[in-house]
Chains A and B, each alone.
Chain A
Amino acid sequence: MGRIDFLLSIVYLLLFPGFLFLFAFSLFAEYLDRKIYARIQRRVGPPFLQPFADLVKLSAKEDIVPEKAEHFMFTAAPIIGLAAIFAAFLYLPIVSTTGLHSFNGDLVVVLYLLTIPTLAMFLGGWYSGNVFGQKGGMRVASLLFSYEIPFFLALLTPALLQGSWKMADITRFEAAHPLEFIVSLLGFFIGLIALQGKLERLPFDIPEAETEIVAGPLVEYSGRRLALFRLARDAEMVVGAGLIAVVFLAGPEPILPLEPVYLSWLVAALVFLLKTLFVIFLLILLKSAVARIRTDQMISFAYQWLIPLTLVQIFIAIIVRFFGGI
């Protein structure tokens, strides 16, 4: 038994639903992002394999480290960012009620791991030795709290309703009580908006605003390192959307007890995929309907609207809990 468990873990980790799956899903998500965005704008959009082709081509390109850049940090930043996201993905429940590991508090670990790519962006920009990169890095760091606090608090709501920090418990509870989604609807939308900020997408793509500071932290990156950063960005979108799908939309639940076991795994993975894609679709819609706002506007938006609304949502959750739950 021990050996089979070990082998299964390896398959889980490397192939499905581990790294290879995340890699493919991230590129697919980027394809969808670009294609739907293009169709909304009445453009044709890229062919299916374009994100993969971009990645391969970028990896083959000359990779330059500027003289003024700090070599070690400049190289480490994209790797750390990507590693943190891949690690976070392993904790999401995809094929069954649990991820690779499940323990009380795994939700907090995932949230924490999802903060690291932001830090990697800041460090990469700061150590690139370019004035645009440093400006972008400063923007990344100064915006961190404006979306991180609402994101944490919004994802706290379902945990409060259920009384557990374990994602497996939250999804099980939600599958049993569909009404719970309505109670946490406000939190769902706040989570979406905050995730958009976390992913630095419109209207919050302030750190890499092309027309202002060229590409912000990424301005000096090229070749393999840029490819890693871009892959990290796609994977972050998938994991972030997946996390929202798990916490608010019950992730892979309801899991059907099918025979043989792997069939039920596949169905669960499909349910998870559809829910994640739904969240990504909402993110794309938001992106295509707005202009970029300014740093000061984003901070005041976060503190005047997002955070108070999140507190309202938490208050609702506590009241509902107090009067005997759903």
Chain B
Amino acid sequence: MAHVKLPIGPQHPALKEPENFTITLDGERVVDVDIRIGYTHRGIEKLMETRTYTQNLYLVERICGICSYAHVENFTQNVEEILGLQIPKRAEYIRTLFLELERLHSHFLWLGVAGHEIGFDTLFMYTWQDREVVQDLLEMISGNRVNYAMNAIGGVRRDVSQEHRKKVLEGMDYLEKRAEFYKNIALNEKTILARAQNVGILKPQVALRLAAVGPTARASGISVDIRKDDPYASYLDTPFEVITTDTNDVLGRVVVRVLEIVESIKIIRYLMEHLPEGDILKKAPRKVPEGESISHTEAPRGEDFHYLHSNGTEKPERYKVRTPTLANLPATAEMLKGTYLADVPIIVAAIDPCMGCMDRVLILKNGQEKPGELISGEKLRRYGIKWYAERGWDA
């Protein structure tokens, strides 16, 4: 049979966000994959240059709906570094608590999505119900379920009370049981094994060469975890282990995430038992002196990298975000080659993609990607004005 080109995306039920994977098929086998991004670029970096640091706290949080806190943590760390601000110990612990609660709900969510991609909707419904427990805890402490608005430059905005501590610990007891249950399902359910074992192989040396990050890399036996490699917040004080497996397949990525849920629960217990007394917020100046800073955190999906260039005013000169999904996409293309069509959704889902967060602008000429070209900001602005004027959309 001749090769068939099957467009997975930009609109396709397997993808929650619009990106295009054009798959060349020989029967049911995938011969080649062409990934094209750029369908959902939002221009947040540019927008940030027009807002003050305080306003940007809220904008940065909206980069991602799932790992919103990892982004805001990066942003505050960057600003605090340039300001030379040492935040109170208690604030650091509360930030770590939020980072780990976020990892919990993200991993539970991912488990459900993975189940859905292989048609296991019962698992999907179960995990999403358990995820509600984490969401309720987040809402109890911060007042919000998704974008918590918890950080301020110089600390956190809300304190954790005794009552909160008790509720969090109760929630952890429940979630630990559930994590054990899901581990059993993932390792013993025949149809899950059939769909996850030896699927989407990513060899360690390939993972290293393509710079995979997060659970995707850890499932290939590479021990990368920013929490251990370059500790931030209170991870230096907190005992925990970096989970790796050496199966290199989708099942490994499931196992890594389920075991990370267990580790996160341990971390949260430790934090709740050793929460230091003291202030939670230090006053910070509105203007940030000229300087450069980078910050990276281990978001639930992998290393989240931020760069800040400040110019002495109350607005940043340049801000740059690189999310884990972008780092994992080259590895995804490698994993997809030679698999079955049926495995494409679960392999793509196994990196836990967040397309909206990572998207870049792609300039096309006659439907082809243009070779790299540097454009000045001014030229880009004129191009934008012309583009809208040509279509009659400009006022």
Contacts and interface: CB of A to CB of B under 8 A. Distances in A.
A291 B340 contact: no
Interface in B4-50: 4-7, 12-14, 25, 28
Given A211-B117, A293-B194, A288 B342 contact: no
Contact of A290 (B5, B14, B191): B191
A183 interface: no
B117 A294 contact: no
Nearest to B121: A41
Contacts of A210: 13-14, 119
A132 B7 CA distance: 9
A326 to B, nearest CB: 34
A209 B119 contact: yes
B122 A294 contact: no
Interface stretch (A10-18, A198-206, A267-275): A198-206
Nearest to B192: A291
Contacts of B12: 214
B341 A291 contact: no
B344 interface: yes
Given A131-B5, A135-B6, A212-B14, 14 more contacts: A41-B121, A41-B122, A42-B125, A43-B125, A210-B14, A212-B345, A213-B341, A288-B122, A290-B120, A290-B189, A291-B192, A292-B120, A294-B195, A294-B342
Interface string A282-302: 000000111111111100000
B13 A211 contact: yes
Contacts of B191: 203, 290-293
B195 A293 contact: yes
Given A135-B6, A296-B28, A203 B340 contact: no
Contacts of B340: 294-296
B298 interface: no
A160 interface: no
A63 B126 CA distance: 37
A299 B322 CA distance: 43
Most chain A beta-carbon contacts within 10 A, residue among B7, B118, B123: B118
Contacts of A132: 6
A130 to B, nearest CB: 11
A291 B118 contact: yes
Contacts of B120: 290-292
Most chain B beta-carbon contacts within 10 A, residue among A41, A289, A297: A41
Contacts of A291: 115, 118-120, 123, 189, 191-192, 194-195
A292 B118 contact: yes
A266 interface: no
A206 B342 contact: yes
A41 B195 contact: no
A295 B115 CA distance: 18
Contacts of A295: 28, 340, 342
Interface in A169-227: 202-203, 205-206, 209-214
Nearest to B190: A290
A211 B120 CA distance: 11
Contacts of A297: 194
A53 interface: no
B343 interface: yes
B116 A40 contact: no
Contacts of B13: 210-211, 214
B129 interface: yes
A203 B119 contact: yes
A1 B179 CA distance: 71
Interface in B181-210: 189-192, 194-195
Contacts of A206: 342
Contacts of A212: 14, 341-342, 344-345
Nearest to B193: A291
B119 A42 contact: no
A211 B195 contact: no
A40 B122 contact: yes
A172 B108 CA distance: 53
30 contacts: A41-B121, A41-B122, A41-B125, A41-B126, A131-B7, A135-B4, A135-B6, A203-B191, A205-B119, A209-B119, A210-B13, A211-B118, A211-B119, A212-B341, A212-B342, A212-B344, A212-B345, A213-B6, A214-B13, A288-B121, A290-B120, A290-B190, A291-B191, A291-B195, A292-B191, A294-B194, A294-B195, A294-B342, A296-B340, A297-B194
A292 B119 contact: yes
Most chain A beta-carbon contacts within 10 A, residue among B25, B192, B340: B340
Given A42-B129, A209-B119, A211-B117, A292 B341 contact: no
Most chain B beta-carbon contacts within 10 A, residue among A205, A294, A297: A294
A144 to B, nearest CB: 16
Most chain A beta-carbon contacts within 10 A, residue among B4, B119, B191, B195: B119
B122 A289 contact: yes
Q: Sorted from nearest, which 7 A-B pairs have the closest CB atoms? A: A292-B119, A291-B120, A41-B125, A291-B191, A211-B14, A211-B345, A291-B118
Given A213-B341, A214-B13, A290-B191, A131 B126 contact: no
Contacts of B5: 131
A4 to B, nearest CB: 51
Contacts of A202: 119
A324 B81 CA distance: 90
Contacts of B14: 210-212
Interface string A253-279: 000000000000000000000000000
B195 A292 contact: yes
B7 to A, nearest CB: 8
Contact of A209 (B7, B126, B189, B342): B342
B249 to A, nearest CB: 14
Interface in B324-345: 340-345
